[in-house]
Amino acid sequence: MPETQQVLMFMLAGVLLNLTPGPDVLYIVNQSLRGGVGSGLVAAWGITAGCCVHVALAAFGLGSRRQ
């Protein structure tokens, strides 16, 4: 069982990685420019939800497949 400090550091790393700019930021900017603030916010919330699911699955060891 991981210790509390390890879990907190993993969560912090996940949050920091989600805050770094990448293709998702370009998508949000594109949606904002094409559809306005509302479209940009919907795109941002959708990407955030997907990232949270991905980080949660990785935290439970389901993010990678072992052979």
Residue 65: per-residue pLDDT: 62
pLDDT tens digits for range 10-33:
999 988 887 788 898 899 999 999
22 exposed, middle or buried (CB, 10 Å; 0-12, 13-18, 19+)? Answer: exposed
Q: Any idea of the CA torsion for 51, 52, 54, 59, to the nearest 10 degrees? A: 140
Please state the separation of Cα 53 from the chain's center in Å: 8
Cα–Cα dist 12/63, whole Å: 17
Please state the separation of Cα 42 from the chain's center in Å: 14
pLDDT tens digits for range 42-60:
999 999 999 889 888 888 8
